[in-house]
Amino acid sequence: MIFSLASCTPLVPYRTNQDVSASCIPLNLKGDPTSDSFAAVAPSCEHLLEEDAPASDGNGGYALHFVEFDDQGELFPGTGQHAPAVSQMEAFLARVRSEGEADAATSKIRPVSVIVFVHGWKHNAQSSDSNVRWFRAMLARLAIVENKSNCPRRVIGLYVGWRGDATMLPDLAKDATFWTRKKAAGRVANGQVRELFGRLRAIQDIRNAEWNGLVEMSRRHPTEVTSSHTELACSKAIRLTIVGHSFGGLIVYNSLGPSLVRDIADLNERIRDAKSPVVDPVLAREGDLIVTINPAVEASAFVPLWQAARAADPRSYHAPVFVSITSANDGATGIAFPAARFFNTLLSKYPRGASAERDAELKTIGHDQDYVDYTLNTLSILNANSKSNPNPLVADPICEHLRNAPDFTTRFDAEMKRLDGFVEALHATPDANALPQFFPRQFCIHARTGDPDVAIALRPMARTNLNSPVWNVFTAMPVLDSHSDLLNPFLIDFLRQLYEEGTRPETQRLSETMVNPDGLVRQGALELPHQDGLRQTIFK
């Protein structure tokens, strides 16, 4: 007993230094991603509340903040030697506010992209933690995407830390902490992380006032459709992406799940209310994109969102707002999780014939096939698994052209060209008939001479509504191997291209030309009626 207590990791914050003068450029980003030096930073950065990484050596610049929670889901108290940790959340939110303000000299919005990552089991906020280093590498890559987009955004990352690694003993002993860390993650999900997400969305709503005006007017007149427009994209001051892995996926989903259900229910009611038989109103979003990777979440918790998305039955395309990705050979969520849930649910009662309810209590989101929407894998594997299909998948010529692409710029330009075609087709035929030609939907991967595949594809299940913004994705090797394969290049290519789609908000069918309630067409200004009958004009 004394030995096991002595081997526990201390319940202390790792980020307690408020110095903002250090430069924390990640090292060895082009080296072996499995090495301890990959995306490491200088020792002077190890305890900083904020790591500032200027652009260098072809990598994009970003700012990385940290917010840490204790085992009860609270911020660490502002006392003792770790007192500065209590200011982690306020420092991050202040940074987002300041970056999302209009420039004093030009009055133009300085758009930002906020990317939040919540780590999972066996990890924490230490500088050398592999999840911290993975997140640095992702921020550097996404910053390059932003720099090359039509609307460059300053990238601000937030690493949400908690005591996912509870012991200093070897990995075999760490495996025994699965149950206690799941309970801790549940407490974190119900704690101040909800305040963090709520305040972040509030700042986003305030800074995105012009964008929200566009959303509201497009809801009132959903048949007004536009093609690509840079000014439209740049009217969104703050873009928000939230990612959770493992128990971090549990924290993200349990914190945001009710809001996601509410947003989908809102879409459902607006569809019922809309006069257009084809084009849906715009979906309000709890963040622009939420991703969970191998989430340790019961399928039963996912059912309300999945059912709400089915009930909404959208008729036009909505870019995904929630994407869950699960690996077939993830032992943690595929074996350990249902084993633990078996004992936890022994006394649970279910109606006669409700075997699906029992399965949903035992299995995670991705391992319960009743709620899987898509399978994701290489073209060769998908073709091999569908030998009876008379029309095997053929690689997109653009993806084939990218084999041995000399640099990222070439890849990015080609991927955006593919995205342009997708968006143009959506607006040319704004109903579900436009979508089947794009599914199975391909994502180019970094292939070299001799590689059998140049793309991975998202293949829908027979019942899947291709317009739904909720994607539950089941994958396997080589796209995602086991529980913690975050550095898999196929996975990174897939996530990056999902992110790139978010740089094109016109997939949400907003119009730069709106029809006002009085029937007049106004270009360049939106008129929003007030309760007192007056109108407020929001200019671009």
Q: What is the mean pLDDT of residues 270-284?
A: 78
CB atoms within 10 A of CB 361: 19
Confidence label for 253 from pLDDT (cuts 50, 70 and 90): very high
Residue whose structure tokens are 């030096």: 37
- Kindly report which listed range (2-6, 402-406, 424-428) carries the lowest average pLDDT score: 2-6
pLDDT at 490 over 90: yes
pLDDT at 539 over 50: no
What is the per-residue pLDDT across 44-73, written as a single tens digit (0 to 9) for each? 999 999 999 998 877 789 999 999 999 999
CB atoms within 10 A of CB 355: 9
Among residues 135, 139, 137, which one has the least CA distance to residue 147?
139
What's the Rg (C-alpha) of the chain? 23
Q: Is the dihedral of CA 152, 153, 154, 158 positive or negative?
A: negative
Q: Residue 538 has what pLDDT? A: 28
Confidence label for 536 from pLDDT (cuts 50, 70 and 90): very low
Task: Count CA atoms within 13 Å of residue 188 on its CB side.
Answer: 30
What is the per-residue pLDDT across 280-324, written as a single tens digit (0 to 9) for each? 778 888 888 999 999 999 999 999 999 999 999 888 888 899 999
Among residues 505, 493, 492, which one has the least CA distance to residue 455?
493
Q: Is the dihedral of CA 59, 409, 502, 311 positive or negative?
A: negative
Confidence label for 343 from pLDDT (cuts 50, 70 and 90): low
Confidence label for 232 from pLDDT (cuts 50, 70 and 90): low
Q: Residue 1 has what pLDDT? A: 40
The pTM assigned to this predicted structure is: 0.89
Confidence label for 166 from pLDDT (cuts 50, 70 and 90): confident
- Kindly report which listed range (207-221, 299-313, 363-377, 467-481) carries the lowest average pLDDT score: 207-221
- Kindly report which listed range (42-51, 327-336, 384-393) carries the lowest average pLDDT score: 384-393
Six token digits for residue 310:
């089915």
Confidence label for 444 from pLDDT (cuts 50, 70 and 90): very high
With contact defined as beta carbons under 8 Å apart, do 165 and 124 qualify? yes
Q: Residue 177 has what pLDDT? A: 84
Mean pLDDT of the chain: 83
Written as one string, the DSSP assignment of 223-273 is T------HHHHHT--EEEEEEEETHHHHHHHHHHHHHHHHHHHHHHHHHHH
- Kindly report which listed range (158-162, 170-174, 485-489) carries the lowest average pLDDT score: 170-174
Q: Residue 130 has what pLDDT? A: 93
